[in-house]
Amino acid sequence: MYPKSINNLIEAFKYFPGVGEKSAERMAFHVLGMEEIQTDFLASSIKNAKSKIKRCKICNHITEEDTCNICSDISRNKDYLCVVEDPKTVISIEKLGIFNGYYHVLNGLIETLDGVNPEDIRLDKLIKRIEDEKFKEIIIAVKPCLEGEMTALYINNVLSGMNVVVSRLASGIPMGADMEYIDPITFEASFDNRKKIS
C-alpha cells in the first residue's frame, strides 16, 4: 500500500516497545512533515548514540569515555556504593542530588525462573570491586519486587563475612499517596518497616 521507503520506516519504528502498526504509521507520517534538518539530526543521533555509548569499565554505567563522569569524579564520598539495576536509575538518583557516593550498575536482576543467574548480571565484578575499594556501606537500590529481593539477599549473603554494612532502600507508602489505593504488599511492608516517632 505504501511506497517502499514509508514501509521501511514503519517497520523500523515497530522496533520500539509498545509501537504497533498504527503508532508506527503515525510516526512515519510525522517524519514526512519534519524539516530535513530535523530528520538528519534524528538519524545521526540514533547512529551516534549506538556507536559512541559504551559501559564504564569500573561501574558499568553508560559513558562515551572509558570511565564515566561519576567514577572520574574524585571529590565524591568513597565510603558509599549504591547498587542499581540499570543506568536509568543512576540518572534518576543523580537528578535528586541527595547521594554523593559512587554507583555500580548490574546487568539486570537475578531471575532464577527465567534462568538469569548471579553470573549473568556480573555480580562477581561487583563483589571484586567491593573487596578492592573498601566501601563502608553498600546501598542496594533495586526495584522492590521478587527479583529485586533475591538480588539484594544474594549480595548480602556473599558480603556477610566482610566488614561492610549492606542496606536496602526503604519500602512503604509513597508520600502523598491515597491510602485507599495502596496495594496489600506495600501496605504490609509499611507495617513491617514502621518507625518510632521520636
Is 96 a binding residue for a copy of itself by CB under 8 A? The answer is: no
Q: Under a CB-based contact definition with an 8 Å cutoff, are residues 137 and 164 in contact?
A: yes
Q: Angle at which helices 21-33 and 4-13 pack, to 10 degrees?
A: 120
Is 20 a binding residue for a copy of itself by CB under 8 A? The answer is: no
User: In 3-state terms, what secondary structure has residue 192?
Assistant: helix
Is 194 a binding residue for a copy of itself by CB under 8 A? The answer is: no
Tell me whether residue 32 or residue 146 sits nearer to a copy of itself (CB atom).
32
Distance of alpha carbon 82 from alpha carbon 79, whole angstroms? 10
Is 88 a binding residue for a copy of itself by CB under 8 A? The answer is: yes
Question: Binding a copy of itself by CB under 8 A: which of 20, 48, 100, 185?
Answer: 48
Tell me whether residue 56 or residue 130 sits nearer to a copy of itself (CB atom).
56
If you ran DSSP here, which 8-state letter would residue 113 be given?
Answer: G
For 4-41, letters b (16+ CB in 10 Å) and e give eeeeebbeebeeeeeeeeeebbebbeeeeeeeeeeeee
Minimum CB distance to a copy of itself, residue 28 (Å)? 7
Q: Based on the number of CB atoms within 10 Å of its own CB, is 82 exposed (0-12), middle (13-18) or buried (19 or more)?
A: buried
Minimum CB distance to a copy of itself, residue 140 (Å)? 21
The runs of H, that is alpha helices, within 1-86 are 4-13, 21-33, 36-52
Question: Binding a copy of itself by CB under 8 A: which of 20, 44, 170, 188?
Answer: 44
Minimum CB distance to a copy of itself, residue 103 (Å)? 13
Q: Angle at which helices 146-158 and 123-133 pack, to 10 degrees?
A: 40
Is 95 a binding residue for a copy of itself by CB under 8 A? The answer is: yes
Tell me whether residue 38 or residue 193 sits nearer to a copy of itself (CB atom).
38
Is 57 a binding residue for a copy of itself by CB under 8 A? The answer is: no
Minimum CB distance to a copy of itself, residue 167 (Å)? 24
Query: Which residues of the chain form contacts with a copy of itself (CB under 8 A)?
Result: 1-6, 8-9, 11-13, 15-17, 25-32, 34, 36, 38-53, 62-64, 86-88, 91, 94-95
